[in-house]
Amino acid sequence: MGKNRFLAKSSGFRYRIRRIIESADLVVEILDARDAWGTRNSELEKLVKGRGKRLLTVVNKADLVKSVDYPESSKICVISSKNRGSAAILKEFIRSNLPKKPARVAIVGYPNVGKSTIINLLKGRRSASVAPIPGHTKGVQWVRIDEDILLLDSPGVVPSYERDEISIALKGAIEADQIKNPEYVAHKILEKVMRENPAAIEKTYDIKLASNDPQEVLSLIATRRGRLLKRNEPDTLNAAKTVIRDRYKGKI
Ligand X SMILES: Nc1nc2c(ncn2[C@@H]2O[C@H](COP(=O)(O)OP(=O)(O)OP(=O)(O)O)[C@@H](O)[C@H]2O)c(=O)[nH]1
* List of residues contacting ligand X (CB under 6 A): 60-61, 63-64, 80-82, 111-117, 130-132, 134-137, 155-156, 249-250
117 binds, options Mg ion, ligand X, none, Cβ within 5 to 8 A by partner type: ligand X
Closest residue to Mg ion, based on beta-carbon distance: 137
* Pairwise CA distance, residues 36 & 64, whole Å: 12
Strand-pairing partners, residue 203, are: none
- Indicate the SS3 state at residue 226: coil
Q: How far is the CB of 18 from Mg ion (least distance, A)?
A: 18
The answer to the question of residue 60 lying near Mg ion (CB under 5 A) is no
Nearer to ligand X, 93 or 235 (CB): 93
Q: How far is the CB of 178 from ligand X (least distance, A)?
A: 13
* Pairwise CA distance, residues 217 & 222, whole Å: 9
Q: How far is the CB of 62 from ligand X (least distance, A)?
A: 7
Closest residue to ligand X, based on beta-carbon distance: 156
Nearer to Mg ion, 133 or 207 (CB): 133
Nearer to ligand X, 155 or 234 (CB): 155
234 binds, options Mg ion, ligand X, none, Cβ within 5 to 8 A by partner type: none
DSSP 9-58: HHHHHHHHHHHHHHH-SEEEEEEEGGGTTTT--HHHHHHHHHTT-EEEEE
* Pairwise CA distance, residues 238 & 225, whole Å: 10
| Of residues 117-156, those binding Mg ion (CB under 5 A) | 137
Half-sphere exposure of 48 (CA within 13 A, CB side): 24
- Amino acid at site 208: K
* Pairwise CA distance, residues 133 & 249, whole Å: 8
The answer for 193, left when phi > 0, alpha when psi is -120 to 50, beta otherwise, is alpha
Q: How far is the CB of 136 from Mg ion (least distance, A)?
A: 5
Nearer to ligand X, 68 or 98 (CB): 68
What backbone phi and psi angles, to 5 degrees, belong to 42? -70, -25
Nearer to Mg ion, 115 or 187 (CB): 115
| Of residues 64-123, those binding Mg ion (CB under 5 A) | 115-116
CB-based contact 1:174 (threshold 8 Å): no
Residue numbers at the binding site for Mg ion (CB under 5 A): 115-116, 137
